[in-house]
Amino acid sequence: MAERNASPLGFVTRNSLLCLFSVASILFILSWLSVLRSTGRPRFIDHSLLPNSKLFAVTDNGNSESQNQNDIEPSIESEEKALEGKNSVKCGSNYPVLKVFMYDLPAEFHFGLLDWAPAGESVWPDIRTKFPLYPGGLNLQHSIEYWLTLDLLSSEFPENQNARAAIRVHNSSEADVIFVPFFSSLSYNHFGKFKGRQKKNENNLLQDKLVKFLTAQEEWIRSEGRDHIIMAHHPNSMLDARMKLWPAIFILSDFGRYPPNIANVGKDVIAPYKHVIKSFINDTSDFDSRPTLLYFQGAIYRKDGGFIRQELFYLLKDEKDVHFAFGNTQGNGINKASQGMHSSKFCLNIAGDTPSSNRLFDAIASHCVPVIISDEIELPYEDVLDYSQFCIFVRTSDALKDKFLIKLIRSIKKDEWTRMWRRLKEVENFFEFQYPSKEGDAVQMIWQAITRKVPAIRMKLHKSRRFSRSSVGRERVLNSMQLPKNFW
Ligand SMILES: *[C@@H]1O[C@H](CO)[C@@H](O)[C@H](O)[C@H]1NC(C)=O
Ligand SMILES: *[C@@H]1O[C@H](CO)[C@@H](O)[C@H](O)[C@H]1NC(C)=O
């Protein structure tokens, strides 16, 4: 397969399909082998799907201390080598880099919302010199839009090309996906209020404008939006536009406010909140040095979620070593909550008015084992990450039984807790948003989650074209549709 080098970035080539098939066969044999040799330790992360890992380094030796990809159990390694030799498979081992076309939307849709105004031709700030900061406080938890856009802009810099998960391309026919750089959460936070008797606020108007822009684009028309990436992390963002833009892939915090035909776990991508609690750097705590057993600090809502919170409060308020308090975490609250979570063994994450909240990601950053009571929650990258290794899940109906929750928590002893704590420290980087992005952080994990959607997008696109020959207007469709190089 020497000609593999001819298209190093091609996502679907005949060779890579062959390769994929061979790899799949090998994986199948390997998994069969490892079932035979199974030590009973649960598989933690499928390394083959993680950033820049070698495709063949799929065996996790269960030793949570060693994250080094080269630390493969020797005997399995030789089995792999033998198999590799037999099939003579040598193929690209890195995770494919996602090729992203980004619309040059006017600045009012993105950095303009951060009070930045273009000085010259470009709608983008020169992020090498100075770029606007995202507002702090609770705005930050939905700042995904900002980090992804910065990452795409910087992907054109020559530095650090190897450690990228996505690169910006300027020819949309060569792209895997089309990125819509609308800072919708910020637009909701800034402009979502109605003034006076206004029918539409500025956030509604901006969404209308976006729909008008997108549906007129050649890229949108040729795929009917199926390969478009639209960020709507705040549950209230894009409430208008989503009804028109639903064929696209949404990046969301959960599906709480979405009808399943508009958004679902098959089509869309769940992204973490940016945590507001400080990361626990140099955490040398242990089970015994964290005095609080179970910690909850949060708002109490009158809607659905509020009921559960109140019930749990009555169930837990008299238990020893339990901190259960209402009130938000703004201002000095954040410092206090950081202290509280850093000194607790378990942190409660209860459904609020939507199934998700940033509290889960605060708990992860604090290495406080999350206890999740939220039946409808969807979790980021769950196709490659097994949350049961570092979270406790409790059904709402169980949690509301007398003593159920506290008994369960008290039954988890030092050994098991320590294992989960260690895994939290291993996975925390997957939930870290930063610029520049680093290998395996939230920015790259989200791009890779999108990369894993690309085959399904292609499938939908191809199917949608089956009968285009017999339908009227085929000429027009074909003319507006330049097939990407690697389509076949
Ligand atoms: C963490 O530990 C390293 C090495 O001991 C030290 O250089 C660093 O300042 C520490 N950071 C914090 C925030 O304590
Ligand atoms: C964009 O890419 C397509 C497919 O590779 C190619 O045919 C086309 O000429 C390119 N367009 C431009 C403007 O470079």
**Amino acid 331: pLDDT:** 61
Q: Is the CB of 284 under 6 A from ligand 1?
A: no
SS (H, E, C) 317-355: CCCCCEEEEECCCCCHHHHHHHHHHHCEEEEEEECCCCC
Two structure tokens written together for 38: 């199974």
Ligand number nearest to the C-alpha of 281: 1
Residue type, 184: S
**Amino acid 114: pLDDT:** 94
Q: Domains of the chain (ranges plus CATH)?
A: 98-274+444-457 (no CATH), 292-432 (3.40.50.2000)
Interval 340-364: pLDDT, tens: 999 999 999 998 778 888 999 999 9
Two structure tokens written together for 280: 């626990």
Q: Check: CB of residue 89 under 8 Å from CB of residue 22.
A: yes
- Centroid of ligand 1 to alpha carbon of 424 (angstroms): 19
Identify which of 101, 169, 481, 482 to mutate to test ligand 2's pocket (most ligand atoms within 8 A of the CB): 482
Residue nearest to atom 6 of ligand 2 (CA): 173
Q: Check: CB of residue 176 under 8 Å from CB of residue 227.
A: yes
* Mean pLDDT, residues 193-215: 92
**Better pLDDT: 487 or 121:** 121
- Centroid of ligand 1 to alpha carbon of 285 (angstroms): 14
Q: What are the beta bridge partners of residue 297?
A: 325
Closest by CA to 419, choosing from 42, 77, 49, is: 42
Q: Measure the CA–CA gap between 177 and 164, rounded to whole angstroms.
A: 16
Q: What is the dihedral of CA 173, 445, 269, 153, to 10 degrees?
A: -40
**Amino acid 13: pLDDT:** 47
- Centroid of ligand 2 to alpha carbon of 483 (angstroms): 9
Q: Measure the CA–CA gap between 141 and 359, rounded to whole angstroms.
A: 10
Ligand number nearest to the C-alpha of 284: 1
Instruction: List C-alpha distances in Å: 32 to 27, 42, 122, 143.
Output: 8, 15, 55, 42
**Amino acid 438: pLDDT:** 92
* Mean pLDDT, residues 24-52: 48
Q: Is the CB of 281 under 6 A from ligand 1?
A: yes
- Centroid of ligand 1 to alpha carbon of 284 (angstroms): 11
Q: Measure the CA–CA gap between 474 and 253, rounded to whole angstroms.
A: 38
Helix/strand/coil percent split, the chain, to 5: 40, 10, 50
Q: Check: CB of residue 108 under 8 Å from CB of residue 206.
A: yes
> pTM for this one?
0.79
Q: Is the pLDDT of residue 485 over 90?
A: no
Q: Check: CB of residue 270 under 8 Å from CB of residue 379.
A: yes
Question: For strand 177-180 and strand 322-326, is the pairing parallel, antiparallel, or unpaired?
Answer: unpaired
Confidence at 471, pLDDT banded by 50, 70, 90: low
Query: What is the distance, to the nearest Å, from the Cα of residue 428 to the centroid of all Cα atoms in its chain?
Result: 13
**Amino acid 197: pLDDT:** 80
Q: Measure the CA–CA gap between 99 and 459, rounded to whole angstroms.
A: 18
Q: Measure the CA–CA gap between 21 and 125, rounded to whole angstroms.
A: 44
Q: Measure the CA–CA gap between 222 and 257, rounded to whole angstroms.
A: 29
Closest ligand 1 atom to Cα of 282: 1
pLDDT above 90: percentage of residues in the chain: 60
Q: Is the pLDDT of residue 477 over 70?
A: no
Q: Is the pLDDT of residue 33 over 90?
A: no
Two structure tokens written together for 371: 């206890």
**Amino acid 115: pLDDT:** 92
**Amino acid 69: pLDDT:** 38
**Amino acid 481: pLDDT:** 45
Q: Is the pLDDT of residue 445 over 60?
A: yes
**Amino acid 23: pLDDT:** 56
Rg over alpha carbons for the chain, rounded to the nearest Å, is 24
Interval 275-313: pLDDT, tens: 999 899 999 999 999 999 999 988 776 566 668 888 999
Q: Check: CB of residue 346 under 8 Å from CB of residue 367.
A: no
Q: Measure the CA–CA gap between 172 and 27, rounded to whole angstroms.
A: 34
Residue nearest to atom 2 of ligand 1 (CA): 282
Q: Return contacts of 358-363, CB within 8 angstroms, 24+ apart.
A: 358/141, 358/273, 358/274, 358/275, 358/276, 359/298, 360/273, 360/391, 361/272, 361/273, 361/274, 361/275, 361/431, 362/275, 362/276, 362/277, 362/337
* Mean pLDDT, residues 138-146: 93
Question: For strand 392-393 and strand 344-350, is the pairing parallel, antiparallel, or unpaired?
Answer: unpaired
Identify which of 13, 174, 178, 481 to mutate to test ligand 2's pocket (most ligand atoms within 8 A of the CB): 174
Q: Measure the CA–CA gap between 424 and 421, rounded to whole angstroms.
A: 5
Ligand number nearest to the C-alpha of 101: 2
- Centroid of ligand 2 to alpha carbon of 218 (angstroms): 14
**Amino acid 35: pLDDT:** 46
Q: Check: CB of residue 374 under 8 Å from CB of residue 351.
A: yes
Residue type, 426: E
Ligand number nearest to the C-alpha of 483: 2
Q: Is the pLDDT of residue 62 over 80?
A: no
Q: Is the CB of 282 under 6 A from ligand 1?
A: yes
**Better pLDDT: 473 or 452:** 452
- Centroid of ligand 1 to alpha carbon of 482 (angstroms): 53
- Centroid of ligand 2 to alpha carbon of 170 (angstroms): 10
Q: Is the pLDDT of residue 159 over 60?
A: yes
Q: Tell me the H-state helices in 37-166.
A: 74-87, 144-154
Q: Is the pLDDT of residue 229 over 70?
A: yes
Residue nearest to atom 14 of ligand 2 (CA): 171
Closest ligand 2 atom to Cα of 172: 1
- Centroid of ligand 1 to alpha carbon of 274 (angstroms): 22
